[in-house]
Amino acid sequence: MVKQRRVRAHSSCAPVAPFCRRRGYLKTLTEPAIFANETSCDCRAPHEKLTIAQACKGTPVDRPVRVYADGIFDLFHSGHARALMQAKNLFPNTYLIVGVCSDELTHKYKGFTVMTEHERYEALRHCRYVDEVLRDAPWTLTPEFLEKHKIDFVAHDDIPYSSAGSEDVYKHIKEAGMFVPTQRTEGISTSDLITRIVRDYDVYARRNLQRGYTAKELNVSYINEKKYRLQNQVDRMKEKVRTVEEKSKHFVYRVEEKSHDLIQKWEEKSREFIGNFLELFGPDGTWKQVFQERSGRMLSYALSPRESPSNSPPRELSPLRSPSPPSPPARWHNARPSPPTSPKGASASISSMSEGDEDEK
């Protein structure tokens, strides 16, 4: 009896998709994929050979279609994950086995890896599309290996893979009708990632020195270490300068904004002051009216006779003029009058003398 592997239900309550699971053990996506044993197929049903057309129709119904995909998977990236996603979705009911080559085989046939074989095993175990990881996978697939692990189809990109003295290590798989092609993801590969690191080696060396790694750990010479640390200091100074420039620009912007407001308020106050000045001192202003009124009052006051003081006693006039005193003797005319003590007295004396002359005549 074939048991099915269930997928963890997401918060959106997505439907659970059926997958292959080991007998008596329910697998979910909260756990990593299992490692392959000597023989990982526990199906009791006969393992007859399938064609691609049969597998696409969902047959056989009593077991999943076992698909094998192998590789190095160094610096596991989205291109690897997309290839495994395609392999997982080749057929309606697929059980995906991923073979990972060991460090020994990889260094012998392809080159040095960044990640160790155990790191690469764990990276594949935690990919959601993988049901089983086969450690120390062979470089070339033999019929005995395919039979041992009950593999129905092999998934890989269709580009001929020349290695180990062969023009295409998958040639015999293609001839047997067991090869299913997948599409490569352009723009990303392990070689591309390593090329980026090598190209920008100084940048990443400075980055790790700044993060606390020693020159010995980075295999950096003493001179290069000092050079990188000096460059880091220069970069920090540049960053500070940029920060100060940004703050200065913000400050200048605020000053300009406030200056614009002050100028606008000054213009408003200036217009108000000029308007008030013209209203007060203009041709028809209030000050002219006040000046004309005060000038009229002063002129009328100057032309009108002066009134006697209010505290002086009133002068009483007799109805009849009293007789004039007797004329002085002749020697009075010869007498020299005393000088007046004031201009008013002088004018009074002059008038009295003129009156006396008229009386004599």
- pLDDT tens per residue across span 221-278: 889 888 888 888 888 888 888 888 888 888 888 887 888 888 888 888 888 888 888 7
Q: What is the pLDDT of residues 77-101, one digit of tens each?
A: 999 999 999 999 999 999 999 999 9
Give the C-alpha separation, 164 to 168, whole Å. 9
Per cent of the chain over pLDDT 70 is 72
Q: How far apart, in Å, are the Cα atoms of 103 and each of 76, 79, 94, 108, 124? A: 15, 21, 28, 8, 15
What's the mean per-residue pLDDT of the chain? 78
Nearest by Cα to 36 from 96, 80, 119, 117: 96
Q: Are 90 and 180 in contact (CB under 8 A)?
A: yes
Q: Is 4 left (phi over 0), alpha (psi -120 to 50) or beta?
A: beta
pTM value is 0.58
Q: What is the pLDDT of residues 9-50, one digit of tens each?
A: 333 333 333 334 444 444 556 788 888 875 556 555 567 788
Enumerate the β-bridge partners of residue 67. 96, 153
pLDDT value at position 2?
Answer: 36
pLDDT value at position 327?
Answer: 54
Which is more confidently placed, 357 or 56? 56
Q: Domains in the chain, ordered, with CATH?
A: 34-187 (3.40.50.620), 191-284 (no CATH)
Nearest by Cα to 155 from 88, 87, 79, 66: 87
Is the pLDDT reported for residue 344 higher than 50? no
Where is average pLDDT lowest: 14-18, 115-119, 208-212, 292-296? 14-18
Is the pLDDT reported for residue 355 higher than 70? no
pLDDT, average across residues 155-180: 90
DSSP state of 226: H
Is the pLDDT reported for residue 116 higher than 90? yes
Question: Kind and range of the H or E element at 99?
Answer: strand 94-100
